[in-house]
Amino acid sequence: MVTLNLIIMIPFLAAVLIPVLYKRKAPIHIGWSVFLVPVALFVTLARYIPSVAKGETYSYSIRWIPSFDINFTTYLDGLSMIFGLLITGIGSLVILYSIYYLSSEESLKHFYIYLLLFMGSMLGVVFSDNLMVLYVFWELTSISSFLLIAFWFHRKRSRYGAQKAMLITVCGGLAMLTSFIMIYLMTGTMSMREILTAVDIHHPLFTPALVLLLIGAFTKSAQFPFHIWLPDAMEAPTPVSAYLHSATMVKAGIYLVARFTPVFGGEELWFLLVTGIGLITLFWGSFSAVRQTDLKALLAYSTISQLGLIMSLLGIGSISLSLDSDVKTIIYTQATFAGLFHLINHSTFKGALFMVVGIVDHEVGTRDIRRLGGLMSFMPVSFTIAIIGSFSMAGLPPFNGFLSKEMFFTAILSITSLDFFSLESWGFLIPVIAWTASVLTFVYSMIIVFKTFLGKKHIDVGEREVHEAPAGMLIPPGILALLVLVIFFYPNMVGDFLLRPAMLGIFPMLADTGELSHSISIWHGFNTEIFMTIGVIAFGALLYRYMKRWKGVFKLFPTSWSFDTLYNNTLLRLESSSTAFTRFYMTGALQDYFRYIYLFFILAIGGTLFMTGAFSIDQIQYAPVRLYEWVLVLVMLAAGIAIPFVTTRVTAMLLNGVLGYGIAALFVIFRAPDLALTQIVVETVTTVLFLLCFYFLPKWERGMDKSTPRVKSINLLISISVGAIFVMTALSVQSGKLFNTISGFFEKADELTGGKNIVNAILGDFRAFDTMLEVVVLFIAGIGVFTLTKLKLGKGRENIEDQ
């Protein structure tokens, strides 16, 4: 069978081949070639379903950076199987849909490259066993989603939404990376399977790792208050929204929480954060969805709400890990079972709804609910799919959303019977919040159906030739709508082959206890849950009917108090602060930049010398300084001091030459004639170049230097400090030799190379390749200079300069 590593890499390889296929201009749409990739991967993964359902797992590993315990290790179990099938299955339908949705005038090459990059990245996230490999793919999903959201980059809102999504998710990813490092420090392993048995809940890093991990998960899955990026991401093309923002990317955080439940689950903080944030997100998402006038914005907030529901179920299910071994935990693990079930259901009905909204936008030309109505007679198939998707999202029978919603009610009702985590005092709020959010979910689900497809036909619609979408755009949402019905009537097919194996991946310690043997029933009789559903329908219908009378409540939450406003104001302040700081140090004056460089050198090197006690002088090794050497040094010192005070450039050049030739004289004194000759040649060439440059400079006149005495004093102090640091560093290095010098080896140059001159032997033999490359660099630079001097602009010179 195909290895998991290859399954992950196939989308990346296909993305590389797309430019070649696109350039050849195949007679068929390029989307059909891309369509084969997820279909093949889906079929490949489906072949694993029977064996995974029996409890088997698969693992493949490739050595990558073993010195840091980082290997490209992939792992397939029931949990990763669900996500892998969603990524490839929904991906296949989205690509089929995009073939008919996107115009041939669009940059299809880039679109499918970005989509395949995202698909491969998501597969890497769910199949990675190594923490660092998971993080790499996690951030790749942020990058590829940025490219997809900004696909229509000519739109300001698209660029804004892409930037917002990337900033929030990448920052969350960095928090997650910090958590991974802490987990490694606690356990000594990067493998998620090994972490489970090696983690110490009493370690001081345990709680910070837990919190940072959840920040990463919450940002990716648009949990409150990080949910603000998802509505703006709706500026992406509808196929992107249907794929990233209903079935895949936003589920990455769900996967992370589910995968790390056996590590952190059972802790009170984990339960409070996952359940609490999930419930807040559930309510706030449904509340915000009702006030939207754009269909995609409504679906965005409904997605936020549904993700909160799934997250809260995972939090409730984690309670089973905190119970005593003699307590039946099946009722609490059923919450996790319901969460996974609703994850699948949500992907089906929400993917179908996004595609229907895309059809409405594509055929009608608007998504504004206030301008829509009466589309049922024009688009009967789309209307049917919308009813199935919306009623499933509302939790009505006979649709799969009804089953998982009933299981959700069962889970939240079970909370009220617990007497730990302070649930006996505030646990009653959980059913109240959940039921209220379910009522609002019913309301916005009815808005989608009745405001869009029923009611009075709008005049704009009548003036436009509205018709049903082509079959190619209807087949993908139609398949998803059909799955909504099939799953309702045959839910245990999903339960037996997908959900139960996934539960083994989350609760491996309960595998032999019988606590994971859940089943799904269509009808449980007239119990509390069914009466809650009846209440949702009745109260939701009243709210929808009299919406105009109570929508004024939204005015209590002005946009100026929103998290969006906080985000925008924060960015503006950061931008203004960064601009002011940049203007502070980017002055445009070369002398200021030299000051920054030298000050950094003084603080870094000088500070290190004194703080570490590295500065030392060992005078025993030094030879005595003779009189003529003192005289030569004093002459050089006088020349160096005089340079800043001269008034002509020629004088400064001559004094600089005194320094250079003085060094050559020192080389002669210290019996290094070759170095002296080299120094003399270099100094002579430098002097000639100075004279050539001075010829083109304006005449130096007294008063041209506008520096104040204070600035000159600072420059003098910096200069003296830099020189002192260099001297102290050289003396310290000379005095603190830890190893024998390499000069003894080069002294054998005659024996080793046959060269009598050590310097020439080093350049031509010991470091010949280095010298050759330096010559090549100089040769290339010379060609560049020659080309620039001979370059002549033609007739289009003015236009080129204008550009």
Across the range 116-120, mean pLDDT stands at: 96
Are 321 and 357 in the same domain? yes
Are 288 and 309 in the same domain? yes
What are 463-517's pLDDT values in tens digits? 567 888 889 899 999 999 999 999 999 999 999 999 999 999 888 877 766 677 7
Are 407 and 366 in the same domain? yes
**pLDDT band for position 734 (cuts 50, 70, 90):** confident
What are 379-404's pLDDT values in tens digits? 999 999 999 999 999 999 999 999 99
β-strand partners of 59: 75
Reply yes or no on whether the pLDDT at 803 is more than 60.
no
Residue 297 inside a domain? The answer is: yes
Across the range 336-361, mean pLDDT stands at: 94
Across the range 405-422, mean pLDDT stands at: 84
Are 433 and 572 in the same domain? no
pLDDT of 792: 64
Residue 658 inside a domain? The answer is: no
Reply yes or no on whether the pLDDT at 331 is more than 90.
no
Angle at 143 between CA 122 and CA 94, to 5 degrees: 50
Lowest mean per-residue pLDDT among 59-73, 81-95, 186-200, 755-769:
755-769
Residue 419 inside a domain? The answer is: yes
Are 537 and 561 in the same domain? no
Amino acid sitting at position 575: E
**pLDDT band for position 800 (cuts 50, 70, 90):** very low
Question: CA-to-CA distance for 87 and 343, rounded, in angstroms?
Answer: 12
Question: CA-to-CA distance for 428 and 411, rounded, in angstroms?
Answer: 13
Q: How many CA atoms, within 13 angstroms, populate the side-chain half-sphere of residue 197?
A: 5
Are 539 and 572 in the same domain? no
**pLDDT band for position 802 (cuts 50, 70, 90):** very low
Domain's final residue, options 517, 545, 573: 545
Amino acid sitting at position 525: G
Residue 752 inside a domain? The answer is: no
Reply yes or no on whether the pLDDT at 716 is more than 80.
yes
Reply yes or no on whether the pLDDT at 346 is more than 60.
yes
Are 440 and 572 in the same domain? no
Lowest mean per-residue pLDDT among 176-190, 495-509, 675-689, 744-758:
744-758
Question: CA-to-CA distance for 29 and 235, rounded, in angstroms?
Answer: 25
Of 223, 215, 211, the residue nearest 183 (C-alpha): 211
pLDDT more than 70, % of the chain: 94
pLDDT of 704: 60
* Ramachandran angles phi, psi of 178, nearest 5°: -60, -40
Are 490 and 575 in the same domain? no
> 577: domain range?
552-582
pLDDT of 711: 82
Across the range 747-769, mean pLDDT stands at: 80
Residue 722 inside a domain? The answer is: no
pTM, 2 dp: 0.81
Of 659, 628, 661, 655, the residue nearest 642 (C-alpha): 655
In total, the chain counts a number of residues equal to 803
Neighbours of 239 (CB within 10 A): 28
How many domains would you assign to the chain?
2
288 with 445: CB under 8 angstroms?
Answer: no
Are 429 and 295 in the same domain? yes
113: which 2 tokens? 């490259």
Across the range 5-30, mean pLDDT stands at: 86
251 with 83: CB under 8 angstroms?
Answer: yes
Residue 537 inside a domain? The answer is: yes
| CA distances from residue 40 to 83, 258, 708 in whole angstroms, order as listed | 16, 27, 74
Q: What is the DSSP letter of 496?
A: I
Q: How many CA atoms, within 13 angstroms, populate the side-chain half-sphere of residue 49?
A: 17
143 with 15: CB under 8 angstroms?
Answer: no
**Is 138 exposed, middle or buried (CB count within 10 Å of its CB: 0-12, 13-18, 19+)?**
buried
316: which 2 tokens? 């409730």
**pLDDT band for position 45 (cuts 50, 70, 90):** very high
Q: How many CA atoms, within 13 angstroms, populate the side-chain half-sphere of residue 123?
A: 28
Are 437 and 578 in the same domain? no
333 with 315: CB under 8 angstroms?
Answer: no
Residue 397 inside a domain? The answer is: yes
75 with 127: CB under 8 angstroms?
Answer: yes
Reply yes or no on whether the pLDDT at 784 is more than 80.
yes
Query: Which one is predicted more confidently, 1 or 89?
Result: 89
Residue 250 inside a domain? The answer is: no
Are 536 and 568 in the same domain? no
pLDDT of 619: 65
Chain mean pLDDT for the chain? 87
Are 439 and 575 in the same domain? no
**Per-state percent for the chain, helix, strand, coil, to nearest 5:** 75, 0, 20
pLDDT of 651: 84
Of 599, 602, 638, the residue nearest 727 (C-alpha): 602
What are 560-592's pLDDT values in tens digits? 788 888 999 999 999 999 999 998 888 888 888
